[in-house]
Structure 1
């Protein structure tokens, strides 16, 4: 019995030693920063001659009276509502296309995936040229059809959607890879059985293919939601959140408060709200989308 207990203790010790590096990284770079941010959200911003002091929920009350926060939050919701469905639908469409036996399939796969390889800063600079008033690619196309140019990034009515287009172009190819891998795992005999039963291509897609892609869709949706609320790189290049906060998003507003306005307490409170939004969105997806997801 003693030998068995010693052996079990040795197995547990080895197991803990194996996972210790991962636990250290998890605590150091995830759990501790999260706890420190939550703690800091209840304190004022420390200054040279004034240490931080406890303010309770004052920062969260400040948000309710902050018109910029309300505008940024609405912007982020609109940005998510535009970028998530477009990215997922485009990724699925591209995956279905390059999974079929078409000429130049390898070239199409490479073309669709290329934007994913580019750093977001580089991609934003490419689109900055497209959006440049007067001689940008989009204005040149408008001039061909006799239409006047447009300041895509300088107009409050189009700035946010211009940033959304960059995001869709950038991440659709990334999501396509997951859909393509899932499509290649679907047995061919299922499609053949549906064809024998007289099902059309649309009916086969709707009743056979899409249900089997449920786990992949759930994974893609979770990542798309996280990406929609963590956009910051493109804003540095394209708009800096302007004009008049028309394209400002929540994570960029957190950056502004933390490193431009130097209000770290308020920035910590904004970060807590951002994490809560992401947690709530993920929970809703797993409760509603996850229940309808079929795993094989």
Structure 2
């Protein structure tokens, strides 16, 4: 009995030492996570319940007044609608195009390495370079797209100068830029699929479409879930492209949520109001993530 009483405390102390050792290993990353993620989020929520400090007038606690003003802010509501439309259009297009590109370069064909590089290069370019490239395409009268239209005797279009086309022109740039980046994840997932499955399907006479629908697509669901979450976040945090190409115009038709937050905070210096919009943006992103996890997580892990 005495030996049992002696072994139990020793085992317990060893377990506590291992737990403490594990916490100490995690501590540096945890400190950075709190400093640069959790603390700024809580500080933003706290900032959003105060008024803006003006010359000679310190910030005052106003509660939910900033959030009530958002409901009456036409520019904010327009930016929110633009961003929702932007996400609804660009996410499925970028993800679908990425999957098709991955399927195309997953085969053993000559020039595959060059094709993969061509698909991936747009995601490596800085936004300033991408903006200048596409501004050349969209330039009225002289741009490449209008030159093609004139070749077919069609009238020129001011792609970035018309409210009806400006936002969709930005969408094209985003899909072109992000599809190659998402392709890498799909390509890696495709190469992890056991090649014997393709051989068995070929022996059974299954078509490529049937093999994709019944075998590849279910096995790609975890990757698709990961890509959808990232694509959703990218769609709501775009700001550099708007600044470089349209600056929110014409008539706020390309004003997206993060761009309006940036302009409110650093052009109008209304940090509490911008904080309230940031909280709304965080709630939207969290809601989208929860919905996608609830809808796709069971399919992704076959539960």
Query: Does TM, normalized by the shorter one, top 0.5?
Result: yes
Residues 217-236 of structure 1 aligned to structure 2 (within 5 Å): 217-236=224-243
Instruction: Tell me which residue corresponds to 1:35.
Output: 42
Check if 1:177 corresponds to 2:184.
yes
Instruction: Tell me which residue corresponds to 1:55.
Output: 62
How far is 1:9 from its partner? 4.0
Aligned match for 2:150, one of 143, 152, 169: 143
Residues 179-198 of structure 1 aligned to structure 2 (within 5 Å): 179-198=186-205
Check if 1:162 corresponds to 2:169.
yes
Alignment TM-score, normalising by the size of structure 2 = 0.94
Distance (whole Å) between structure 2 residues aligned to residue 278 and residue 225 of structure 1: 8
Q: For residues 205-234 of structure 1, give each alpha carbon's deviation from its aligned partner in whole angstroms, at most 9, with x where no partner exists.
A: 111110110000000000000000000010
Check if 1:134 corresponds to 2:117.
no
Instruction: Tell me which residue corresponds to 1:283.
Output: 290
Distance (whole Å) between structure 2 residues aligned to residue 130 and residue 85 of structure 1: 24
Distance (whole Å) between structure 1 residues aligned to residue 153 and residue 282 of structure 2: 47
SS in 2 for 1:157: helix
Instruction: Tell me which residue corresponds to 1:18.
Output: 25
Alignment TM-score, normalising by the size of structure 1 = 0.96
Aligned match for 1:99, one of 95, 106, 122: 106
Distance (whole Å) between structure 1 residues aligned to residue 18 and residue 96 of structure 2: 48
Conserved in 2, the CA contact under 8 Å of 1:212 and 1:294? no
How far is 1:290 from its partner? 1.4
Q: CA RMSD in A?
A: 1.4
Residues 266-281 of structure 1 aligned to structure 2 (within 5 Å): 266-281=273-288
How far is 1:277 from its partner? 0.3
Distance (whole Å) between structure 1 residues aligned to residue 294 and residue 12 of structure 2: 42
Instruction: Tell me which residue corresponds to 1:80.
Output: 87
Identify which range, 236-245 or 121-130, moves more after superposition.
121-130
Instruction: Tell me which residue corresponds to 1:120.
Output: 127
Instruction: Tell me which residue corresponds to 1:259.
Output: 266
**Which one has the largest radius of gyration?**
2
Q: For residues 56-95 of structure 1, give each alpha carbon's deviation from its aligned partner in whole angstroms, at most 9, with x where no partner exists.
A: 1111111111111111111001100111011000000000
Aligned match for 2:159, one of 125, 144, 152: 152
Distance (whole Å) between structure 2 residues aligned to residue 237 and residue 91 of structure 1: 25
How far is 1:240 from its partner? 0.5
How far is 1:119 from its partner? 1.2
